[in-house]
Amino acid sequence: MPRIDDYKKAFELAKQELQPMNPKRVADQSGSRFEVDDSHGERLRLRFLNKEVTIRWPEIEFLAPQDGKEIPIQEQVLILHYLLGCPGSKFEGEWIAYQEIPDGRFYLDAFVRRAKEPMLKAFGERPELLVDLAERLYDAKPFDQGDCSVVVQAFPKVPVALVIWRGDEEFPPDGNILFDRSISEILSAEDVAWLAGMIIYPLMGMASKRK
């Protein structure tokens, strides 16, 4: 499990790599919005899990969102890695499982523990609730796999599909989390595992209040 110091180091490394880059070009490549105003100077506005994130440039400083909740450093690092990974990436329209991502097999156990198993534990017996809550929290869109499924637009260029198959007398519920193949060019396997957990855990929190 990474320590807070590890995240701080990762943040600084990503910051140093981003600072020399043209923010307008970064915005164009990442699907974010470039703005300039008198109070904050240059900044990017980026949609992340249905929230708007504002990053001051070239300081690479995350401004407090309107709800006043500080963005956790783990999320900040993931966002910076997304901005760095977007150049050259192109949506492919082909869904892949986590283990098909480069190095995905190496991190597969952690991914299953962090995202797939919690999703099934919370929603395997009530998959319709997953769809309902994902639509409410992330403005997720219907998907055409499994018995119940949705697509969460995690970043402008990173869709994530949550899929559940109902159980029956012979088999327990099953599920999967799918990604567009282009994610391999944008985020590392470790980052993708963290992202999946960031999507699932807020949904689990909401589900716990609906028992």
Q: Where are the domains of the chain?
A: 4-85, 95-208
Give the model's confidence band at 67: pLDDT under 50 very low, under 70 low, under 90 confident, else very high. low
My answer on whether omega of the bond before 58 falls inside 30° of 0, hence cis, is yes
SS3 call for 59? coil
Residue 90, pLDDT score: 80
pLDDT of residue 55: 95
Q: What is the mean pLDDT of residues 157-185?
A: 93
Neighbour-count burial of 93, counting CB atoms closer than 10 A to its CB (0-12 exposed, 13-18 middle, 19+ buried): exposed
Between 167 and 115, the more confident residue is 115
Q: Is the pLDDT of residue 94 over 90?
A: yes
53 close to 35: Cβ distance less than 8 angstroms: no
How far is residue 69's CA from residue 96's CA, in Å, rounded to a whole number?
33
Token code pair at residue 55? 């990053």
Predicted confidence at residue 69, as pLDDT, reads: 76
Who's near 72: CB < 8 A, 6+ residues apart?
none
CA distances from 98 to 109, 130, 148, 149, 164 (A): 11, 20, 19, 17, 15
Residue 192 is predicted with a pLDDT of: 96
Q: What pLDDT is attached to residue 210?
A: 74
Three-state DSSP state, 165: strand
Question: What value does the mean pLDDT take over residues 1-25?
Answer: 91
pLDDT at 57: 93
Give the model's pLDDT for residue 23. Answer: 95
pTM for this one?
Answer: 0.93
Kind and range of the H or E run holding 152:
strand 148-155
pLDDT tens-digit readout, 113-163 = 999 999 999 999 999 999 999 999 999 999 999 999 999 999 999 999 999
So what's the pLDDT on residue 68? 64
Q: Which of 78, 101, 86 is nearest to 10 (CA)?
A: 78
- C-beta atoms surrounding 210 within 10 Å: 9
The pLDDT of 35-60, averaged and rounded, is 90
